[in-house]
Amino acid sequence: MHIVLLESLGVPQEVLAACARPLVEAGHTFHAYAREDDPQTQIARARDADVLMIANMPLCGEVISACPNLKFIDVAFTGVDHVDLEAARAKGIRVSNAAGYSTQAVAELAVCLMLSLLRNVPQVDERCRNGRDKSGLVGTELGGKTVGLIGVGAIGARTANLCRAFGCKVLGYKRHVRGDEPSFVEFVPLDELLARSDIVSLHCPLNDETRGIVSADVLARMKPTALLLNTARGALVDEAALADALNAGRLAGAGLDVLAQEPPQPGHPLLTAKNCLITPHIAWSSREARLRLIDTVAANLRAYLAGCPVNVVS
């Protein structure tokens, strides 16, 4: 098998080498490249591959179709909306993801954003650096707040547990309640969740049903004192509508780790919106999560080579 890693996984070289060594010893070839989003460059690197490994780099149908030997795509990421799954299915190519590796990391950043917004951390940091005090910026506590989770899968459930530890009431909304969700989460219709929540946090996948789920109408149904958090996918949110709501005072704040386009272009309305805290898609990227990630994608590859693929999404 010719195995090609098309982008860095952000782990030390010795860790990557240790994962590649048994593959080479078993007679496979392994090549690793730095990320390049240009499809023609990807095709030149991947053309002869039997297996492609990527993280969150877009992989379009043009590239997939140009790889006649390709049989397996090993995605070092939870979401796979950046992979043309239809093109993969058309060629009978299996696709596996790395579900679970970043559950703790993402949940912790969601809570971090909640605390930072509630306690005005960016604003008081700026004041302190400029020799000023906290006047007018006394924050509020997370304890006692009602947190509404849109999406209660693994990450949403972990976020629910962390919020409960702070003393929050937790509401949940999801299309299908399976019964294995935390028992303390009260599942309610979306309209009720929006009306009751002090903090609304997004933890749902991006698909045709959820794209733009946080519209201007949804934002209007939230409390004007509420916060919106998004550590899932940028395209879940109508970003122009969110900027308008923040600037008009119809929403108290937003904490975003994801945007529809990353990095954002100059002039993006959320970059200058009031009380909007933005991080550059770092929720998944703790040291511990990166090590779990490489372990997961290596296990996915071993399972595929053994004829029993796991974590298959397509």
Active-site residue list: 233, 262, 281
- Nearest Cα to Cα of residue 114 among 248, 295, 252: 252
Contact, 20 vs 30, CB < 8 A?
A: yes
Contacts of 257 (CB under 8 A, 6+ apart): 109, 113, 230, 231, 278, 279, 280, 281, 282, 283
Give φ, ψ of 230 to 5 degrees: -135, 105
Looking only at the bridges linking them, the beta strands covering 94-96 and 72-75 are parallel
Structure tokens at 307: 């004829």
Q: What is the DSSP-derived secondary structure letter of residue 259?
A: -
Contacts of 261 (CB under 8 A, 6+ apart): 234, 268
Contact, 201 vs 159, CB < 8 A?
A: yes
Tell me how far apart the alpha carbons of residues 41 and 43 are, in angstroms, rounded to a whole number: 5
Tell me how far apart the alpha carbons of residues 301 and 314 are, in angstroms, rounded to a whole number: 15
Residue 141, exposed/middle/buried by CB under 10 A (0-12, 13-18, 19+)?
A: exposed
Tell me how far apart the alpha carbons of residues 130 and 133 are, in angstroms, rounded to a whole number: 9
- Nearest Cα to Cα of residue 218 among 249, 257, 250: 250
Sign of CA dihedral 180, 186, 192, 198: negative
Structure tokens at 83: 């992979």
